């Protein structure tokens, strides 16, 4: 019995993802109909920043300029200016408004910066106080 348990533990450590992969058919994605993308895009405010993933695998962040019957026209927000692109609805895999607060890690980053600033101010004040009172042996 001990050998069987040891064999199971060893095989779980050596082959951790065998059961998690599932059948190969699960990796195939069914595309959403273009009418669904059109009705969603028509509700988005013009000028909003959107995140887009196309069926070709391209990812981009862009400003929404025009929504018409065939697709959307967007202006990519990149460091180097790019011309506006027209993307047909049948090429879209993802279209969503980018959150205004900077994303999911923005709050944690702000809290971390605040804590670090407070700790730095405390130890800086403590160090200056020790220098002025002579407790550092100077």
pLDDT of 44 reads 92
Res 50: pLDDT: 94
pLDDT higher than 70, residue 83: yes
Rounded Cα gap, residues 31 and 38, in angstroms: 14
Mean pLDDT of the chain: 83
pLDDT, residue 20, reads 53
What's the half-sphere exposure (Cβ side, CA atoms, 13 Å) at 35? 0
Cα–Cα distance, 13 to 33 (Å, whole number): 42
Q: What's the mean pLDDT in 77-93? A: 92
Both tokens assigned to 43? 């509700």
Categorize the per-residue pLDDT at 84 as very low, low, confident or very high, splitting at 50, 70 and 90: very high
- Calpha distance 121→57 (Å, rounded): 47
Residue 129 confidence (pLDDT) above 60: yes
d(CA 3, CA 138): 67
Q: How far apart are CA 31 and CA 10, in angstroms?
A: 40
Take residue 76 and report the two structure tokens written for it: 């990519």
Higher confidence at residue 107 or residue 43?
43
> What is the arithmetic mean of pLDDT over 99-124?
85
Determine the pLDDT at residue 135. Answer: 79
**Pick the residue with more confidence: 7 or 132?**
132
pLDDT tens figures, 13-71: 677 665 555 555 555 566 788 899 999 999 999 999 999 999 888 999 999 999 999 99
Cα separation of 91 and 108, whole Å? Answer: 35
Residue 115 has pLDDT above 90, yes or no: yes
d(CA 26, CA 55): 17
Q: What percent of the chain has pLDDT over 70?
A: 79
């Amino acid at each position: 019995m001990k050998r069987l348990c040891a064999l199971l533990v060893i095989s779980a450590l050596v082959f951790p993802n065998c059961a998690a992969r599932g059948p190969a058919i699960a990796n195939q994605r069914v595309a959403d109909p273009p009418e669904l993308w059109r009705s969603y895009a028509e509700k988005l405010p013009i000028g909003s920043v959107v995140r887009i993933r196309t069926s070709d695998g391209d990812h981009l962040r862009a400003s929404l300029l025009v929504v018409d019957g065939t697709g959307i026209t967007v202006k990519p927000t990149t460091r180097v200016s790019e011309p506006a692109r027209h993307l047909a609805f049948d090429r879209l895999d993802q279209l969503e408004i980018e959150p205004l607060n900077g994303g999911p890690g923005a709050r944690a980053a702000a809290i971390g910066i605040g804590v670090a600033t407070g700790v730095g101010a405390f130890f800086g004040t403590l160090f200056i106080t020790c220098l002025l009172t002579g407790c550092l042996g100077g």
